[in-house]
Amino acid sequence: MILNIGTKNGKTYQVDVPAEKESFLAGKRVNEEVDAGFIGLAGWTIKLTGGSDKSGVPMRHDVHGQRKEKILLSSGPGYKPDRKGARAKKTVRGDTYNQEIVQVNAVATAEGSVAIDTVAKKIEKKKE
């Protein structure tokens, strides 16, 4: 499982979560705040903002549970309309984390004394 953490200074860091620590996130929901001590960031608090499963299906905060579901979307995670007013049926995943989620997105809400550079690698944005 990969954990992407955005910080207040605009940088994003990527942390590989070991298999034995993945169970800590199981059952947590999107928009929930958790302590990041399980990955070695003592004192850090992160807010879970979404993610995607092993087939690339995004999570949505308004679909409850762990299931995949086809819903009619007009905007938001999982669909970007090509024209105003467009809608489409898309497959999305619920808001609860489980073993099928491989990418977890989060935002740091409180930073601790441990530097994030010691645990994570910085994601470089490619400028085109």
Residue 125: what pLDDT? 62
Ranges of the chain with pLDDT below 50 = none
Q: What is this structure's pTM?
A: 0.86
The closest of 99, 98, 97, 62 to 77, measured between CA atoms, is 62
- Asked whether the beta carbons of 31 and 47 are under 8 A apart, the reply is yes
Parallel, antiparallel, or unpaired for β 2-6 and 101-110?
parallel
Residue 19 zone, left/alpha/beta (φ > 0; ψ -120 to 50; rest) = alpha
